[in-house]
């Protein structure tokens, strides 16, 4: 920076070698300046007052004081570097803008007062510039002089008046009057000792100076406290950011977040509840994450959604933090008695409502409750802090969700690989056996001429049976594919359970007429209601479950079929499709056998596609492992549920499924 105008402090020190500059904080200079200005405001003289504020923004803070000073004297000059719209004026005092890039005045602080009975001046230069973005300008430091010595004050005044004429030459007449009136002409003789005696109200000056120093000390302490709070907040943000970014567990992220925030704003309570896009319409939601001071009641496990209240909806939709300093005095809250009662019952005197949202995706709400006897004023630093935490939590939750989705996709890929492997193995085995049989039968019939009629018929029956087996296998593949793709057509209607069961039992006995089936017992109530199902789907379920029961039960065993009403209170344990939740009752059907049984650890896995309890090369009973998977798909689409119960190997099995009762 090429500065053509020299430093006033430098020039003043050259004129008086006895002056010794001191170090001042901005707070001290402010107190001295105000005490000196008060001498003018409460006095009866009309002094010369010249003040350099460095920048326009500093001058704007003192405008009201200088309007009062201008009422005492017509010789008041203000110098400052413009920040925006500072223009040269002459009423009620004279304003002189200067170029901050061309004058050392932009780095200096001056206040010069010349009166008949007294004089005073401050001439300082800043050597630690204010930090951008930080409001603690009380910490700025200056080097310079402060004195009541009249000759030093007059020398400084002459230098500044000449500088004023450089910027505003049209003020020459006014400046000339000032020089004549206050003895600032070059031909004036130096003041003798008598003329330099101070005639000021020392008690007034001292008391005002002490008051201003105490005020500046309070501001300085407040600044230090704010700095300390910001430092603590930054440390906490770093700590929270560190642990939430190192964790892909949403439970851990949320629990640590509410604990850290709760301890920062103690005594209080910090809670988090789900406010995702799917749950925003719910009137209440369960609080699963909470930190609370020992002296206050816990809300964990309670139903609570403050965010759904119309009073807060507009702000939350704009992703704004809501801060209430006193719930007992807030007119909006008091206008809603139920809301006010809720806050009172949980001793919530002040609270913050912080939305957790990633882009357009709602994730949840953080609430910080101040539960003390006195209201709590939430300051800007605290709001900025919780906003930063909320942003980090949102990112972490999305990362955790992405990781969970990736795990699910990996599991699905593993399942697909297993299914593909099983499909190749099982289909190869299940198709090869009947194809081989069919081929042998047909080749024998084609090549051998003298085959007895009875043997020919047996071979044809065997080939046809294996063709049917292959058709069933292919049919199962197509059925499961359509069910999983949700492309299977179905027509739900009211039908009789007994009719579908009779149809299946008749077909089962016909297909297995040459085999010894276990005893099948049907024990259905006489007043059994009709069910609301897709008839072909229900027949398919009965057929596959009874086929399995007969396949794994020896001929001396038995299979029992029972049914009863599945009451509404029991349905709460089962997740049903949303469109079925309005049904009052379901019918539960149970097929019990005394056969091989199922290991408890396998009770859920048996419903997976292609699952086989035995290795496909070593198993004693054939099958593709698709039957139970098809049953589950059909029952779930009807709005029911299917599950198995068994005590283990050779303990028999129970297959339960529910279907809606016709209204």
CA distances from 568 to 281, 532, 571, 583 (A): 24, 17, 5, 9
Q: Report yes or no: 104 and 8 within 8 Å, Cβ to Cβ.
A: yes
CA distances from 466 to 89, 427, 637 (A): 109, 14, 31
pLDDT at residue 54 is higher than 80: yes
pLDDT of the residue at 639: 85
What tens digit of pLDDT does each residue of 335-371 get?
888 889 989 999 999 989 989 888 878 888 899 999 8
Name the percent of the chain lying above pLDDT 90. 26
pLDDT of the residue at 180: 92
DSSP per-residue string spanning 131-147 = PTT---GGG-EEEEEEE
pLDDT at residue 78 is higher than 90: yes
Extents of the domains making up the chain: 8-221, 247-378, 489-660
CATH superfamily assigned to domain 247-378: GAF domain (3.30.450.40)
From 84-93, 477-486, 510-519, 651-660, the region with the lowest mean pLDDT: 477-486
Q: Which CATH number fits domain 489-660: 3.30.565.10, 3.40.50.720, 3.30.930.10, 3.30.43.10?
A: 3.30.565.10
pLDDT at residue 470 is higher than 80: no
For residue 482 the two structure tokens come to 């359509």
Confidence of residue 410 (pLDDT cuts 50, 70, 90): confident
pLDDT of the residue at 491: 80
Q: What is the mean pLDDT of the chain?
A: 82
pLDDT at residue 126 is higher than 70: yes
Mean pLDDT of 225-254: 72
Mean pLDDT of 541-558: 90
pLDDT of the residue at 571: 44
Strands (E), 371-419: none
From 158-172, 275-289, 425-439, the region with the lowest mean pLDDT: 425-439
Q: Give the separation between CA 525 and CA 124, rounded to whole angstroms.
A: 104
Confidence of residue 18 (pLDDT cuts 50, 70, 90): confident
* CB half-sphere exposure, 534, CA atoms < 13 A: 17
- SS3 per residue for 592-625: EECCCCCCHHHCCHHHCCCCCCCCCCCCCCCCCC
What tens digit of pLDDT does each residue of 194-221 get?
455 456 677 888 888 888 878 777 776 6
From 134-143, 283-292, 523-532, 592-601, the region with the lowest mean pLDDT: 134-143
Q: Which residue has the higher pLDDT, 239 or 597?
A: 597
pLDDT of the residue at 80: 93
Confidence of residue 288 (pLDDT cuts 50, 70, 90): confident
- Please tell me if the domain spanning 247-378 has the same topology as the one spanning 489-660: no
Phi and psi, residue 656, nearest 5°: -110, 140
Name the percent of the chain lying above pLDDT 70. 82
- Per this entry, what is the length of the chain? 663
Buried b (16+ CB within 10 A) or exposed e, 522-557: eeeeeebbbbbbbbebbbbbbbbbbbbbbbbbeeeb
Please count the other Cβ atoms lying within 10 Å of the Cβ belonging to residue 388: 16
Query: pTM for this structure?
Result: 0.45
Which residues, 6 or more positions from 176, have their beta carbon under 8 angstroms from its beta carbon?
Answer: none
pLDDT of the residue at 579: 43
Q: Report yes or no: 270 and 236 within 8 Å, Cβ to Cβ.
A: no
pLDDT at residue 166 is higher than 80: yes
Confidence of residue 615 (pLDDT cuts 50, 70, 90): very low
pLDDT of the residue at 254: 87
What tens digit of pLDDT does each residue of 168-197 get?
999 999 999 999 999 898 766 666 544 554
Q: Which residue has the higher pLDDT, 480 or 329?
A: 329
């Amino acid at each position: 920076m090429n500065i053509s105008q020299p430093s006033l402090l430098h020039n003043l020190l050259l004129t008086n070698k006895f002056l010794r500059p001191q170090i001042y904080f901005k707070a001290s200079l402010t107190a001295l300046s105000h005490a000196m200005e008060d001498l003018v405001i409460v006095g009866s003289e009309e002094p010369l007052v010249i003040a350099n504020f460095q920048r326009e923004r500093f001058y704007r803070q003192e405008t009201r004081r200088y309007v009062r000073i201008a009422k005492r004297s017509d010789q008041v000059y203000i110098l400052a570097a413009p920040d925006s719209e500072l223009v040269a004026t002459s009423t009620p005092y004279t304003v002189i803008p200067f170029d901050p890039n061309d004058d050392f005045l932009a780095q200096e602080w001056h206040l010069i007062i010349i009166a008949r009975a007294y004089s005073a001046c401050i001439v300082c230069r800043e050597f630690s510039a204010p930090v951008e973005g930080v409001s603690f300008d009380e910490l700025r430091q200056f080097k310079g002089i402060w004195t009541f010595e009249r000759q030093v004050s007059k020398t400084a005044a002459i230098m500044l008046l000449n500088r004023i004429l450089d910027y505003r030459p049209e003020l020459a007449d006014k400046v000339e009057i000032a020089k004549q009136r206050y003895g600032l002409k070059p031909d004036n003789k130096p003041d003798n000792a008598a003329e330099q005696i101070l005639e000021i109200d020392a008690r007034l000056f001292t008391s005002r100076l002490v008051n201003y120093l105490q005020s500046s000390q309070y501001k300085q302490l407040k600044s230090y406290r704010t700095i300390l709070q910001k430092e603590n907040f930054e440390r906490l943000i770093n700590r929270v950011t560190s642990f939430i970014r190192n964790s892909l567990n949403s439970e851990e992220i949320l629990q640590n977040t509410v604990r850290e925030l709760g301890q920062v704003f103690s005594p209080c309570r910090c809670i988090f509840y789900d406010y995702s896009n799917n749950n925003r319409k719910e009137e209440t939601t369960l609080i699963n994450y909470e930190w609370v001071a020992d002296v206050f009641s816990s809300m964990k496990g309670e139903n609570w959604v403050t965010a759904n209240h119309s009073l807060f909806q507009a702000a939350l939709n704009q992703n704004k933090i809501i801060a209430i300093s006193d719930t007992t005095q807030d007119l909006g809250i008091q206008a809603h008695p139920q809301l006010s009662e809720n806050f009172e019952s949980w001793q919530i005197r002040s609270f913050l409502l912080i939305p957790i949202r990633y882009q357009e995706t709602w994730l949840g709400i953080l609430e910080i409750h101040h539960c003390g006897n006195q209201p709590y004023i939430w300051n800007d630093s605290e709001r900025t802090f919780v906003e930063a935490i909320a942003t980090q939590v949102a990112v972490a939750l999305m990362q955790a969700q992405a990781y969970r989705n990736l795990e699910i996709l990996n599991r699905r890929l593993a399942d697909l690989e297993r299914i593909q492997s099983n499909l190749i193995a099982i289909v190869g085995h299940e198709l090869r056996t009947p194809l081989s049989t069919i081929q042998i039968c047909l080749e024998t019939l084609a090549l051998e001429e003298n085959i007895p009629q009875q043997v020919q018929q047996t071979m044809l029956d065997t080939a046809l049976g294996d063709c049917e087996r292959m058709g069933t296998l292919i049919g199962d593949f197509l059925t499961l594919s359509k069910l999983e793709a949700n492309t299977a057509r179905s027509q739900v209607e009211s039908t009789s359970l007994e009719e579908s069961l009779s149809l299946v039992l008749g077909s089962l006995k016909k297909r297995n007429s040459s085999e010894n089936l276990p005893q099948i017992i049907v024990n259905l109530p006489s007043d059994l209601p009709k069910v609301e199902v897709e008839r072909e789907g229900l027949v398919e379920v009965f057929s596959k479950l009874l086929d399995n029961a007969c396949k794994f039960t020896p001929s001396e065993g038995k299979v029992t079929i029972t049914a009863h009403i599945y009451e509404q209170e029991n349905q709460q344990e089962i997740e049903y499709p949303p469109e079925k939740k309005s049904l009052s009752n379901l019918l539960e059907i149970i097929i019990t056998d005394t056969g091989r049984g199922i290991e408890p650890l396998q009770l859920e896995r048996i419903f997976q596609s292609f699952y086989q309890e035995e290795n496909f090369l070593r198993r004693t009973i054939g099958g593709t492992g698709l039957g139970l998977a098809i049953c589950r798909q059909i029952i779930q689409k009807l709005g029911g549920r299917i599950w198995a119960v068994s005590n283990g190997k050779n303990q028999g099995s129970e297959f339960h499924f529910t279907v809606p009762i016709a209204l």
